[in-house]
Structure 1
């Protein structure tokens, strides 16, 4: 789905203009996105398999919920909206814990260049897994896997072609944040 997004400079500052997402991707303009990683108290992380019809990384496993921030939309409100849309879950702002903003540039083709700033959160999954309702057009599948397995697959086994190829430092930050919050909760 095409939507209007705010355009940012290479440092993540607003340029004061908005364009359609397709145009931002075609031209390689920076724009904001949200990533929400859900975890459970029993050391699991929710991962999402991207839809088979996605333009980028179809059928690869990725962040629990991700999406573009609409033009003029507050980052946190976008996160809440994307969670509702992609997995049918209503959460509150207080449930989100921001762990950082990550600059990402991925050139998929001459006319598809993702230049994004991922506003990234972690959030406890407080409902049963089977109560989640995936958005059929965006999400192929959902899975809960042990954080240790996720970590092993990313760094020790270096499984190619299973996960979206985010930077190693991005994945390390996610896992560190999840482990830290889980240690505090015990």
Structure 2
């Protein structure tokens, strides 16, 4: 793969993580750059590892990964997003000041994994093309790191604008991302 194809692939793989990060940023109380960079690092590392795993699976698991990747991503994002909407609906207006300053590692890792399943499928495809996976995975990880850090800070601004409904909007974003992943796969089959 040439530089331009690698850069475009990396950008494409990071866009759903960016949208999820906006949701994560809205659910926090005025996130700082340190939290944005931490979130970006978690997502970036996961997004860099998953295409390597997919590439390693190669031909043996290609049909399985391609068959189920969209369903796995959809269910994970539906559950995470649904939880965010449910928590926001139960929260009284005065609880807005009690927003967390940071998300737990496992919540971020689960969201990062859910948004990176497509990168695993891409890794499987790259194995068929005999592409050197490490530079591509590194590019995907760096692009995701940057996009997620920026997404958290965009979410900070949106959180100020939308007030107590920020977490619900973040959850709806995650559900939307999962639905788009599922829709794109199902419509590609027809």
TM-score, normalised via structure 2 length? 0.24
Tell which has more relative contact order, 1 or 2 (C-alpha 8 A, sep 6+).
Answer: 2
Give the helix-richer structure, 1 or 2.
2
Structure number with larger C-alpha Rg: 2
TM-score, normalised via structure 1 length? 0.25
Give the strand-richer structure, 1 or 2.
1
